[in-house]
Amino acid sequence: MKLIIATHNAHKVEEFRRILSPLGIEVTTAQITEPEETGKTFAENAYIKAKAASDETGLPAVADDSGLSVDALGGEPGVYSARYAEVGKRRATVLAKLADVPEERRGAHFTSAICCVFPDGTAINAEGHTYGKIAHENRGENGFGYDPIFVSEEGAAKGKTFAEATAQEKDSVSHRGRALREFAAKLEEYLRNKE
């Protein structure tokens, strides 16, 4: 099965490919128009992006909307994670706002909402979360986005930022890895029922 990934983020495409390819799902991209993300939740934004990509290409399309929620910031940046500050200053903005926040109050979590929309309008939704805390500085060379400041509290990545963890360590506990595995199971069930 071929799925259009509704993103221009090469890192996200690679994560989708790593997790979905072993299931026989061909992940591809297309030059698509990015719709305005007007949803109030990650799930709403994922649906908006997947629906727009499916409508534009006539193919099944899957989209992810994800972000970081920091407890001490009242859940910010949340759904505004990609638009929280100028490009290149998002992590620095979070670190600056947490400069005087003690270790025990630096809790945070990532959320990933995934939505696949088929040309007939059918939608499959999945969501994943991962928990940790915000580091005091950027650490690690891997990953993207907020990965260098998010310290995992779970599994093989425990104690490491997502930028210090290997791809396999990150995928095993990451919000997107969990959402993609839930999505893959739902997709397999959907395809079985279509036979």
Question: Domain limits of the chain?
Answer: 2-194
Among candidate residues 55, 64, 65, 171, the one labeled active-site is: 65
Residue 71 among the catalytic residues: no
Q: Give the DSSP H/E element, type plus range, for residue 133.
A: strand 123-134
Residues of the chain with pLDDT under 70: 195
How high is the pLDDT of residue 29?
A: 86
How high is the pLDDT of residue 51?
A: 96
CA distance 58 to 80: 29
Count the Cβ atoms, other than its own, within 10 Å of residue 109: 18
Contact 57, 32 (CB under 8 A): yes
| Predicted confidence (pLDDT) per residue in 39-96, tens digit | 999 999 999 999 999 999 999 999 999 999 999 999 999 999 988 988 889 999 999 9
Q: Domain 2-194 belongs to what topology?
A: Maf protein (3.90.950)
How high is the pLDDT of residue 55?
A: 95
How high is the pLDDT of residue 98?
A: 97
**Assigned token pair, 49:** 């992006």
Amino acid at 64: D
pTM of the predicted protein model:
0.88
Could you tell me how far CA 178 lies from the centroid of its own chain? 10
User: Could you give the percent of the chain with pLDDT greater than 90?
Assistant: 67
How high is the pLDDT of residue 193?
A: 85
